[in-house]
Amino acid sequence: MAGGSTSTERMRQAVGHAFLMMAANNATALEAAVNFYPGVVFYAGGSSCETILHRAASNGNKSVVDVLLHAHAAVDTQDSNGRTPLHSAAFSGHKEVAEVLLRANAAVDAQDSDGWTPLHAAAYKGHEEVADALLHTHAAVDAQDLTGRTPLHWAAFNGYKKVADALLRANAAVDAQDSDGWTPLHRAAYNGNEEVAEVLMGARAAVDAKTFAGLRPLHWAASNGYKEVVNVLLRAHAAVDAQDSNGWTPLRMAAYNGHSEVVDVLLRADAAVDAQDSDGWTPLHWVAFNGYKEVANVLLRADAAVDAKTSTGSTPLHWAASTGYNEVVDVLLRADAAVDAQDSDGWTPLHSAASKGHKEVADLLLRAHAAVDAQDSDGWTPLHSAASKGHKEVAEVLLCAGAAVDALVNNKTTALRVAARAKHLDVVRLLLQWRAVPDGIRPTRVRAVLFTTYKPLRDVFDETVPMTEQELESARAAWLAASEATSTAVAAADPTA
């Protein structure tokens, strides 16, 4: 009998819940359903675990909210994200519903699974009236979420000036730091929210507050190209040459990201044009590396050192050549950059261009009288660099400019040998066609025919430098004699052999 009673109650609840769901958006029908099925569960169903009160609050349906609260619906039930109906009203911007819930003693500082209070939600969405209602009910103005951010951080991040004003009038901490050390001013600067930045500065925000990585608001405004915010911060006497933990200044960040207008503003504020980071890079190095022609021109007009060297001896021209930005290469050359400057490995910009296969850059450098046979600290010429990577077109440009086809590395290795070893057949064929010193090439040809097991390479030699049978027999005899002499010498040096 007891089991039948339980089953009947479950059916009554199920039917009652179905009626509730059908009447959820109609206050009159909902009231009738609640009265007809007293004690019915108010969950809306689904995996979100939200209640009908959550839905009504989110939709701004005040009359339905009134009915549910009169029927003793739980005001602070949390959904699967930990949000209460007050969170729902705050997210959606429904002030009247929020006020009804607050009068029903809803927890004004309830936190969801991210640590957000309803005030965080209102600030994030820019709902000024809801924020005011929450603040009048003594919401914690500096409540921190799981990332340490306060409602003011979120208002600043999304650019809601009126909400920021309301929070500051309620004595929000203007320089509160989140878990990364960011203040609301950092957030406003990062997103380019000029009006909020001005509001924060008016509330005496620390203009040079540092994150735990040493970044200031000016770094972020400059990095993201927000000229207006940069001007706001500079008018508030932000340190124009402040360095972060890696030695980066706002100018370097603006230059790195190609923001020419911001670079110009910072230079007019006397930013150090040649400030070096911890690796010795100047803003001009980064501009060359990333290929920003306009920014390069702005820096050079401000007398940037065109041949400044990094800790590894690289100049901006090295990097422009390496990354293949021919327009920047041209700008630097017109500014009298040293075309044959060598880095700590002895590489010139032409080595860099040749190694990376940048034909147009190589051509520009050669027209500027770059030394075509410059040797690095290992004796490699640009032709060796091009040959080692298989860059046939660059090799051809170098050869047309008079590169020595038989130049030796450490008195033994030619570009041909380098290309053959790397199996770059097109380059091998090209170099053989350009044989300036046949006698210098022929030993390489002999070695290839005798020893290589890579048939395509042998075929290239066969088609380009044909040998007679007599030459081949002579070469074999010479090689055998050399091998026997080497074996005899080894045996003499090692009695145990």
Burial label, 181 (beta-carbon count in 10 A; 0-12, 13-18, 19+): middle
Three-state DSSP state, 204: coil
Asked whether the predicted pLDDT for residue 15 surpasses 50, the reply is: no
**What integer pLDDT is reported at residue 49 of this predicted model?**
76
Q: Of 61 and 459, which is predicted with more confidence?
A: 61
- pLDDT confidence tier of residue 358, bands split at 50, 70 and 90: very high
- pLDDT confidence tier of residue 260, bands split at 50, 70 and 90: very high
- pLDDT confidence tier of residue 417, bands split at 50, 70 and 90: confident
Our CA angle for 146, 152, 156, nearest 5°, is 110
Q: DSSP states of 96-150 as a string? A: HHHHHHHHTT--TT---TTS--HHHHHHHHT-HHHHHHHHHTT--TT---TTS--
Question: How much of the chain, in percent, has pLDDT values that exceed 70?
Answer: 77
**What integer pLDDT is reported at residue 492 of this predicted model?**
53
Q: Which domains does the chain have, with CATH numbers?
A: 15-140 (1.25.40.20), 345-446 (1.25.40.20)
Q: What mean pLDDT is predicted for residues 274-299?
A: 97
List pLDDT tens digits, range 89-124: 999 999 999 999 999 999 999 999 999 999 999 999
> Could you tell me the CA-to-CA distances from 476 to 365, 449, 482 in Å, in that order?
44, 10, 10
Determine the longest span between alpha carbons in the chain, in angstroms. Answer: 115
- pLDDT confidence tier of residue 473, bands split at 50, 70 and 90: low
Q: What mean pLDDT is predicted for residues 29-40?
A: 56
Alpha helical stretches, state H, 368-468: 382-389, 392-400, 415-421, 425-433, 438-451, 455-464
Average pLDDT, the chain: 87
- pLDDT confidence tier of residue 464, bands split at 50, 70 and 90: low
> How is residue 278 written in tokens?
């911890």
- pLDDT confidence tier of residue 490, bands split at 50, 70 and 90: very low
List pLDDT tens digits, range 1-13: 445 455 544 544 4
The rounded distance, in Å, linking the Cα atoms of 288 and 293 is: 8
The rounded distance, in Å, linking the Cα atoms of 458 and 439 is: 18
- pLDDT confidence tier of residue 22, bands split at 50, 70 and 90: very low
> Could you tell me the CA-to-CA distances from 377 to 49, 346, 351 in Å, in that order?
70, 5, 12
**What integer pLDDT is reported at residue 67 of this predicted model?**
87
Single-letter code of the amino acid located at 448? A
List pLDDT tens digits, range 148-165: 999 999 999 999 999 999
Three-state DSSP state, 172: coil
Asked whether the predicted pLDDT for residue 433 surpasses 60, the reply is: yes
Q: What mean pLDDT is predicted for residues 196-221?
A: 98
The rounded distance, in Å, linking the Cα atoms of 300 and 206 is: 33
List pLDDT tens digits, range 362-373: 999 999 999 999
The rounded distance, in Å, linking the Cα atoms of 446 and 461 is: 9
- pLDDT confidence tier of residue 52, bands split at 50, 70 and 90: confident
> Could you tell me the CA-to-CA distances from 156 to 92, 172, 176, 186 in Å, in that order?
19, 12, 12, 9
Q: What predicted TM-score, i.e. pTM, was given to this entire model? A: 0.82
**What integer pLDDT is reported at residue 373 of this predicted model?**
97
**What integer pLDDT is reported at residue 475 of this predicted model?**
55
> Could you tell me the CA-to-CA distances from 278 to 166, 224, 245, 282, 384 in Å, in that order?
42, 22, 9, 10, 32
Asked whether the predicted pLDDT for residue 427 surpasses 60, the reply is: yes
Q: Of 249 and 21, which is predicted with more confidence?
A: 249
Question: How much of the chain, in percent, has pLDDT values that exceed 90?
Answer: 68
The rounded distance, in Å, linking the Cα atoms of 414 and 441 is: 9
Cα radius of gyration (the chain): 38
Element (H, E) at 316: helix 316-323
Residues 6+ apart with CB under 8 A from 290: 256, 257, 258, 323, 325
| DSSP state at residue 495 | T
- pLDDT confidence tier of residue 474, bands split at 50, 70 and 90: low
- pLDDT confidence tier of residue 423, bands split at 50, 70 and 90: confident
Our CA angle for 192, 304, 234, nearest 5°, is 30
Q: What mean pLDDT is predicted for residues 56-67?
A: 90
Single-letter code of the amino acid located at 282? T
> How is residue 300 written in tokens?
């050079």
Q: What mean pLDDT is predicted for residues 426-437?
A: 77
Q: What mean pLDDT is predicted for residues 37-47?
A: 53
**What integer pLDDT is reported at residue 439 of this predicted model?**
44
Q: How many CB atoms lie within 10 A of CB 201?
A: 20
Among residues 489, 406, 409, the alpha carbon closest in space to that of 443 is found at 406
**What integer pLDDT is reported at residue 497 of this predicted model?**
41
**What integer pLDDT is reported at residue 431 of this predicted model?**
87
Element (H, E) at 58: helix 52-59
> Could you tell me the CA-to-CA distances from 29 to 19, 33, 35, 55, 304 in Å, in that order?
9, 6, 10, 16, 76
The rounded distance, in Å, linking the Cα atoms of 449 and 397 is: 28
Q: Which residues, in sequence order, are bridge partners of residue 22? A: none
Single-letter code of the amino acid located at 3? G
